[in-house]
Structure 1
């Protein structure tokens, strides 16, 4: 049985999130998703998510092909999460290409293409300035 692990904020869930999670699941038998904590998200982006960590975890957990969800509390702990969950494959979006290659000694690292034309940041900006 192959376990796939991935991470993200998953704020303002959109079809790009769904597609990358679905493609990640096809790489293995079990898909685990680490959802960035509110504190981690603020440290990464210097802004708060629209939805809090519990709501974001509940949303991701409700997706049929996601097998389990956990709270990612630190970017520096990715290797520990990979070991803790005995992950065989780490999946990240290709905008992170090469940045997680250091985990190749723990598992296979796969970078999947993002869905073109879809971005949470761009969607929020569109909402802010109006149509």
Structure 2
């Protein structure tokens, strides 16, 4: 059985999230998703996510292509998460190209193209403009 792992905030779920998760699943039999904790998200983006971590976890867990979800507490623990879940491949969006190559000693690393024309940051800005 081949295990794929990926990480993200997955706030304000959109088609780009769905597509990358579906494409990630195609690389293996089992897809494990690390959801950034609220604290981790704030440290990365200086803003809280729209949906709290447990709601984001539940939303992603409900998707048919996802087999397991956990809360990612720290960026520095990625290698430990890869080992814990016995991941054969790490899949990330190509906006992170090269940033996770250090894990190639633990598993294969693949960067997939993002869905054009959509981003959570863009969606939040649009909602605020009309809200």
- Normalized against structure 1, the TM-score is what? 0.98
Match of 2:129 in 1: 129
Gap regions ≥5 residues in structure 2: none
Q: What is the Cα-based RMSD across aligned positions, in Å?
A: 0.9
Aligned to 1:46: 46
1:28 aligns to what SS in structure 2? coil
Q: After the TM superposition, which residues 62-73 of structure 1 pair with which residues of structure 2 at under 5 Å, given as runs?
A: 62-73=62-73
SS at match of 2:109: strand
Give the match for residue 17 of structure 2. 17
Alpha-carbon separation, structure 2, partners of 1:94 and 1:9: 15
State the distance in 2 between where 1:112 and 1:66 align.
17
Aligned to 1:33: 33
Give CA-to-partner distance per residue, 1:5-51, whole Å, 9 cap, x none: 00000000000000000000000000000000011111111100000
State the partner residue of 1:8.
8
TM-score by length of 2: 0.98
SS at match of 2:86: coil
Provide runs of 4+ in structure 1 moved above 2 Å. Answer: none
Unaligned runs of 5+ residues in structure 1 are: none
Distance 1:129 1:96 in 2: 28
* Alignment of 1:86 onto 2:94: no
